[in-house]
Amino acid sequence: MTPELGQLALILALFLALAQSVLPLIGAWRGNRALMAVARPAATGQAVFVALAFAILVTAFLRFDFSVQYVADNSNLQLPWYYRIAAVWGAHEGSMLLWVLILNVWTVALTLFSRRMPDAFLARVLAVLGIISTGFLCFILFTSNPFARLLPMPPDGADLNPVLQDPGMTFHPPVLYMGYVGFSVAFAFSIAALLGGSMEQAWVRWARPWTNAAWGFLSCGIVAGSWWAYAELGWGGWWFWDPVENASFMPWLVGVALIHAQAVTEKRGSLRAWTILLSLFAFSLSLLGTFLVRSGILTSVHAFASDPRRGTFILCFLAVVVGGSLLLYALRAPKVAGGKAFALVSRESAILIGNLMFTVAAAMVMLGTLFPLLGDALNLGKISVGPPYFGLLFPLLMLPVVLLLPFGPYLRWGNSEAPVLKQVLVRAGISAIACAVIAAFLVQGQLKAIAGVASAVWVGVGVVLYILKRWREMPSGRRYPAEMAGMLLAHFGVAVFLIGVLLSESLSVTRDVRLSPGQVATIGGYEFRFDGVTQATGPNWTAQQGVVTVTRNGSPVAVMHPQKRTYTREQVQTTSAIDPGITRDIYVALGEPMDPTHIEGAWALRLYTKPFVRWIWGGGLFMMLGGFVSAADRRFRVKRDVEVASTVTVKLQESQA
């Protein structure tokens, strides 16, 4: 009976979402306060019912209710409870439910933190979010019902894909969706601004913390996904330019552009139309990502079952939401370039160049991702572009960004003088060159590694110089407002990331070896001794577990246990052993026995040393932190006095009337 209650809750949520989309819009148009006031309670009610449905699905998993098709397909009696919860979003239906739940979390957060906004504006924002929610609830109810029954009930279920049985996978999707879906807020603000025709700068200030927070979540989600791929897929890579990864990376790139464009529009009033367009793009790309992943039109390592009905539904939804919003933009976007003028050397110019690079990069990623489809459409056959395409174009596009980055904080709005920039150029430039020369000796002239050190020092020193300058020149307490601290953190993250990517890519060593017990292989200055294979068991798997003892110049470093797991439903999954470190990771994956009948004999092993690989995710986490910290700036928060003043006026008017 309970699963049907979940479905009922979703239906009720759909009706509330409809009310939330239609009534406040009419209210804002007609100036009817009663209709506008529907938005808040409808949004809260919708969130309650969606949360209820989600809780019912979680309960079904925890109680092994295999009469629910989705539960039976994605869990079984041996699956531990934490993976049974993660299994809720382990496949299509449940992850769409999570999508809607998170949209509701953002909406409710907005209703809580937006009490100072004009009623009509908030009504429009909530209505737009309601429309998006309506679309996704319909999608779930009509094409992907997670509560569908399976009768007769099987005694035991299938299994959650073993690839997903990893700690990283338990929180990667929720965090990623927080980012994806979070851009819906900036989107809704832009649509509300277009609808209302009010182009004052105020709405951009309201939108900024939401954009920054969403972008922080998206950064975190991408880092978690990359870490998961590295740890779980067993070939030591951290990014594959896979369609599903690209789907999350495109909104991230546009998000970077958007964050900066919003700053320009809020502070200087310029680039208004561009800011609106970018916020439309950021969320449209989130939707496009959902479409690409869910419709199955592109094959990927994250292959989900494809169903043409689902693809068609999302495409129609995309046409309404994205097409509609771009049409609205064409009709209502500010016609005259507003704001204050700026000179060639100014912060605006630098941000514009950065914006251009990030937008083009997103377009480049989109072209590469959709290339196989273009190939089919133009009858060129099965073609796809892979790492060579992305690996060439992406660094090229990011090069100007890295070169300009240290100057960013020094540049002034409007018009900037050259001397201070020259100082940065000299100091950061000399540090970068000096470090590059030292690095050249250490890495035996590997160009990529030298470029990594030079670029990271260039960016890092630029950021640190600015931190010192603020420290000297500003009175304490006003040195680092949250907005600026966030910017500095995120920019510093770029330096950390550059070290990680370029050093790990150039200095990693990989060897496929065949080792008998007791034999030793030496790579990257470490000796790996293979000590044979033993049996290991987990809650729902048994494994052949290799024992590899790693030493450096004879002194012990780590004992590693790479596994080849066999799960309850006979799926085999390799689990690599990783010995993490700040300057290097050691990574061992167990291959096949040379002779399957003699597992005590020689085995194929894959050994890696990966210098500085951890800095990749470290850099991403700095960027995430930057997003969150700047979102918390007091300047974005309530202006109590204004609010109090306006309520007082209203009360006065009421008492007079």
Partner 1 sequence: MSRLLPFFAFVLLAALLGFGIWWNSAHDPTAVPSPLINKPAPAFALPMLDEPAKTVSKDSMLGKPYLVNVFASWCVACGEEHPVLMAESKNFGVPVIGYDYKDDPNDAKAWLAQHGNPYDMVIADINGHTAIDFGVYGAPETFLIDGKGVIRYKRIGPLTPEVIAQQLKPAIEKLQKEAP
- Does position 311 interact with partner 1 (CB under 8 A)? The reply is yes
- Does position 567 interact with partner 1 (CB under 8 A)? The reply is no
Could you tell me which residues are beta bridge partners of residue 149? Answer: 68
In the list 5, 341, 343, 373, the residue contacting partner 1 (rule: CB under 8 A) is: 373
Could you tell me which residues are beta bridge partners of residue 526? Answer: 523
In the list 2, 59, 198, 312, the residue contacting partner 1 (rule: CB under 8 A) is: 312
Least separation, in Å, of the C-beta of 370 and partner 1? 7
Answer yes or no: are the C-beta atoms of 272 and 334 closer than 8 Å: yes
SS3 412: coil
- Does position 587 interact with partner 1 (CB under 8 A)? The reply is no
- Does position 158 interact with partner 1 (CB under 8 A)? The reply is no
- Does position 295 interact with partner 1 (CB under 8 A)? The reply is yes
Least separation, in Å, of the C-beta of 29 and partner 1? 23
In the list 67, 161, 201, 306, the residue contacting partner 1 (rule: CB under 8 A) is: 306
Nearer to partner 1, 169 or 288 (CB): 288
Q: What is the token pair recorded at 90? A: 């382990």
Handedness of CA 395, 400, 406, 410 (dihedral sign): negative
In the list 55, 148, 341, 374, the residue contacting partner 1 (rule: CB under 8 A) is: 374
- Does position 327 interact with partner 1 (CB under 8 A)? The reply is yes
Provide the pairing of β-strand 555-560 with 563-567.
unpaired
Least separation, in Å, of the C-beta of 76 and partner 1? 16
Nearer to partner 1, 173 or 289 (CB): 289
Nearer to partner 1, 169 or 278 (CB): 278
Least separation, in Å, of the C-beta of 73 and partner 1? 15
d(CA 10, CA 92): 16
CA-wise closest residue to 247 among 299, 220, 285: 285
- Does position 291 interact with partner 1 (CB under 8 A)? The reply is yes
Site for partner 1, residues 229 to 288, rule: CB under 8 A: 273, 277, 280-281, 284, 288
Least separation, in Å, of the C-beta of 376 and partner 1? 5
- Does position 118 interact with partner 1 (CB under 8 A)? The reply is no
- Does position 199 interact with partner 1 (CB under 8 A)? The reply is no
- Go through 155-188 and write b for each residue having 16 or more CB atoms within 10 A of its CB, e for each that does not: eebbbbbbbbbbebbbebbbbbbbbbbbbbbbbb
In the list 322, 507, 548, 577, the residue contacting partner 1 (rule: CB under 8 A) is: 322
- Does position 143 interact with partner 1 (CB under 8 A)? The reply is no
In the list 62, 326, 404, 421, the residue contacting partner 1 (rule: CB under 8 A) is: 326
DSSP string, 297-352: -S--TT-----HHHHHHHHHHHIIIIIHHHHHHHHHS-SS--S----SSSHHHHHH
Tokens 């976007």, located at residue: 333
Nearer to partner 1, 34 or 330 (CB): 330
- Does position 478 interact with partner 1 (CB under 8 A)? The reply is no
- Does position 380 interact with partner 1 (CB under 8 A)? The reply is no
- Does position 336 interact with partner 1 (CB under 8 A)? The reply is no
Answer yes or no: are the C-beta atoms of 499 and 450 closer than 8 Å: no
Least separation, in Å, of the C-beta of 142 and partner 1? 16
d(CA 118, CA 114): 9
Rounded (5°) CA angle 85-87-91: 145
Least separation, in Å, of the C-beta of 151 and partner 1? 20
Could you tell me which residues are beta bridge partners of residue 254? Answer: none
Least separation, in Å, of the C-beta of 288 and partner 1? 8
SS3 382: coil
d(CA 344, CA 278): 22
For residue 194, count CB atoms less than 10 angstroms from its CB and return exposed for 0-12, middle for 13-18, buried for 19 or more: buried
Largest CA distance in the chain: 94
Nearer to partner 1, 97 or 288 (CB): 288
d(CA 547, CA 536): 11
**Residue ranges in contact with partner 1 by CB under 8 A:** 273, 277, 280-281, 284, 288, 291, 295-299, 306, 308, 311-312, 315, 318-319, 322-323, 326-327, 329-331, 333, 370, 373-374, 376-377, 381-382
